Amino acid sequence: VVFKPKIPPVKTDTGFSLDFSSRDKIFIEISDNLKPTNIYQQRLFSPSIINPTDYLFVQDAKYYPTNLPNYKNPSIRLNLMSQNKNLIPQPFVDLSIDQSKTPSFKSGTGATSLFLKSENSVELFLKDINFDYNLPDTGEVHVNIDNFKRCFRYGFNVIPFGSPYLLSLIKKNEVRFSGEFSFSDQKILTFPIQTDGGTLNSTIEVGLFDDKNTDSFPTDFSLAELHTTFLSVRNNNFRLLQKQGEGLFSLFSFVDDWKIHWDVSGSVGKKVVHAVMKDDKGQVISKISKSIVVDFSLPKLSNFKILSDLVVPGKSVRFAINASDQESGISKITSSFVKSGVEKSILVDIPLVKSEDFPDQFIGSFLVPSDLKSPIEISITAFNGLGRSSVLTKTIMLSAPTPVSVVTSIKGVVKEGGRFQPGLVVTLYDEKSKKSKIFISNENGEFVFEQLEPLSYKISVEKPSSSRTATKIVDLKLGQTVNLILELLQ
C-alpha cells in the first residue's frame, strides 16, 4: 500500500482528504488518537481496472470522509486485502490537520451537461463545473437547484445537507453529480454554487438525450474497450448487449468514468452496441445505442530475403523474414512449400527459428529436392496474440547447379532413442576461424553441410524439450564426405 497523506491534510467542516494507491482491495479505518480503539468509519475500496495487467486506483483514489467528529489528530489505517481475501493490517498513520484553511470561492466558468430521458423526468449529469478556490487540491461546495428532488452518484457519498446538497470535489476545479428534477421546456438552467467564501450563479444549457449523441461511445474501437464518461448508475445493474447474440459483460467502476472490456476476437466488423440502465426492479430507465467498428491490426510480414548464395536442387537454402505485431505480439509463425510429385503434390513444412541478432527476424532453412523444378513458392503465415494471421507468399527461382570437381561435406541424421528428430538446430563450428553455421534438421532428421574446407569441425545439437544434446568432432579431409549419427543423450 502506498499511502500519501496531505502535508498537512486540509480541514473542512466534515473531515479531511488523503491520497493513496494500491494493487488490491483496501479497507480504510479512521479513529481518534485520543480513543484509538474507537474506529469511527470503515470503507472498502476496490481497484479500478485500467489495464488487465496493472491494477491501480484512478487518481490515487482520493478519499473524503464525511460527517466525522471533530478529531484533533485523527489516525488513518489502510488495511490491504490480499487476493485470497485475507486482511493484512497496516500501521496507523497519524495526521496533523491544518485547521486554518477553509474554502474560499473566487470565480466560475459554468458547466456542461448530458441528459438521459426516463419515464417521468430527465436524469441530469453535470460533467464539469469549473471554478477557482484557494484550496491546494480539494474542498467542498453546496449546490442548490430549484425542484431538485434527489442527488446520487454510484460510488460517491452525496449527503443531503438541509435544502442544498453537499457534494465533494472529485479533483481540483471540478464537481460532478447527477440527479432527477422536474423538466419543462426551459433551455437554460441557473443554479448557485455556494462555498464559505461566496456564491456563484452558474448557468448551463440543457437538452434531451437521444441515440444520435456522438459522445456515447468512442469512435476508435481498435482496443476493444468501451469507455463512457457520463453514465450515472443507481445500482450495479448495468448491461451491455450486442444484437448478434446477447451477452453480459463486466462493468468496472471508475472515479471519473466507466470502462467495459470484452473479447471481440472473431467478431470483427460493424456492430451496434446497446448500454441499458435498469432500476432495482429490473425496469429499463434509459438506454443508449451506438454503432461501432471492431477492428484489429494484422501481423506484419516484411523484409523477406535469401541468405544462401545460390538456390540449386539438392542443396540447402536459408532465408529470413521479419514478423511483428505491436498490439499483441507474434504467437506463432509457420512456413512451407509445395513439392510436386508423380502422383500428387506434397506440402513440406519449413521450420523457423527466431534470430538471435534481430528481435523481429525469423530464419528458415530447407533442402531443395533434387527433382524440384523452378520456381519454388514459399508460403509464410504469422499469427498474433489475438489469433489473427497474415500470409506472405514468395517465389524463388532456382539456379543451375554449379559443377563441383571436389565435394567436401558433412552429412548426418539426428536421433533420440532410435527415432528421427526433425526441426532441431544443428550447429557446425569451425575450430580455425571460430565461426559457425546452422542447419535445421528436415522431416527425416537429416542435415547437411557442404562445400567445406578440410578443417577440424565440431558438430552439436540440442533438443530443448528434453534437454538432451549430442556432439561430434570431425577432422575433414579434402574431397571427403563424412556421414554422422547424432544420438541425443542426457
List, for residues 371-426, the tens digit of each pLDDT value.
777 778 889 999 887 677 888 988 888 876 655 556 788 999 999 888 899 999 99
Query: Which CATH number is 2-94 given?
Result: 2.60.40
Closest CA to 12 of 174, 196, 198: 196
Residue 439: predicted pLDDT? 92
Q: What is the pLDDT of residues 184-236, one digit of tens each?
A: 333 334 444 444 444 444 443 333 323 333 333 332 222 223 332 222 222 22
Residue 245: predicted pLDDT? 28
User: Under 8 Å CB-to-CB from 340, ≥6 apart: which residues?
Assistant: 372, 373
Find out if CATH 2.60.40.1930 is the number for domain 300-396: yes
Listed by start position, the domains of the chain span 2-94, 105-205, 225-294, 300-396, 409-487
User: Under 8 Å CB-to-CB from 281, ≥6 apart: which residues?
Assistant: none
CA angle 238, 123, 48 (to 5 degrees): 40
pTM: 0.29
Instruction: Output phi, psi for 254, to 5 deg.
Output: -115, 160
Q: Which value, to the nearest 10 degrees, does the dihedral of the CA atoms of residues 379, 380, 384, 387 take?
A: 30
Residue 405: predicted pLDDT? 56
Closest CA to 17 of 176, 152, 137: 137
DSSP one-letter string for 32-55: ETTEEEEEEEEEEE--EEEETTEE
365: three-class secondary structure by DSSP: strand
Q: Give the residues of the chain that fall short of pLDDT 50.
A: 1-18, 32-73, 81-84, 91-267, 278-279
* Distance, CA of 377 to CA of 24 (rounded, Å): 54
Q: How far is CA 74 from CA 68, 177, 372, in A?
A: 10, 28, 85
Residue 426: predicted pLDDT? 92
Find out if CATH 2.20.28.10 is the number for domain 409-487: no
Task: Say yes or no: do domains 105-205 and 409-487 share a fold.
Answer: yes
* Distance, CA of 440 to CA of 334 (rounded, Å): 14
Domain 105-205: CATH architecture, name and number where available = Sandwich (2.60)
State the pairing for strand pair 300-306/352-354. Answer: unpaired
